Amino acid sequence: MEEGQRALPAGSSGEVVDIARRYNERIVRTRHHQPLFRSAVIYAYQRRCAVCRLPFAELLDAAHVKADADGGAANVTNGLALCKIHHGPFDVNILGISPDYVVHVRQSVLETFDGPTLQHAIKEMNGEHLRQLPAARGERPDRDLLAERFETFQAAS
C-alpha cells in the first residue's frame, strides 16, 4: 500500500486511502454481522432447511437472497436457511425460489439423469412450495428481493 501510494500522482493518495479505509470498515462490519445474521436466520427457520426441512443445524447456512456484495442487507427477510445440498445450487442458479415461495429447478438439470442425489434432493424439489418458513410473517423472505433474485435465475436457465 505504501509503495503504491508513493507512485501515485500528487493529490490522489488521500482519496485512495479513504477508499481503502471505507473498504476495510465494510469488511469489518460484514464480518461482525455475519454470525448474527446466521443465527437469526437459522433460528427463524426453526433449524431446518427451507427447501427440504433437513433438521441439522450443523448442515445449515444462512443464504442471502440478495447477495451481500450487491448491497443485500443482513436482515432475516433477506435470508433463507438452506442446507449444504440446497445452498450451493441456489447460489449458482441451478435452483431458484419464486416470490410465491415455490422451488424451481433449472430445465437443463431436470433433463439430466444421474444418481439419487440429483433425482431426490434436487429434481424432486421442482414445483414444491418451501417446506419451512418462519412462523412470524414479518420474518419471511421479502417477495421483492425474491423477485429480483428469481429474474437472475430465469436469465441463467
| Shortest reach from residue 17's CB to Zn ion, in Å | 44
| Shortest reach from residue 15's CB to Zn ion, in Å | 45
Per the document, the length of the chain is 157
Q: Which of residues 38-67 bind Zn ion (CB under 5 A)?
A: 49, 51-52, 54
Beta bridge partners of 61: 82
Q: Is 81 helix (H, G, I), strand (E, B) or coil?
A: strand
Rounded to 10 degrees, what is the CA torsion of 15, 19, 21, 22? 130
Nearer to Zn ion, 66 or 86 (CB): 86
Site string for Zn ion, 69-108 (x = CB under 5 A): --------------x--x----------------------
| Shortest reach from residue 42's CB to Zn ion, in Å | 13
Are 106 and 150 contacting, i.e. CB atoms less than 8 angstroms apart? no
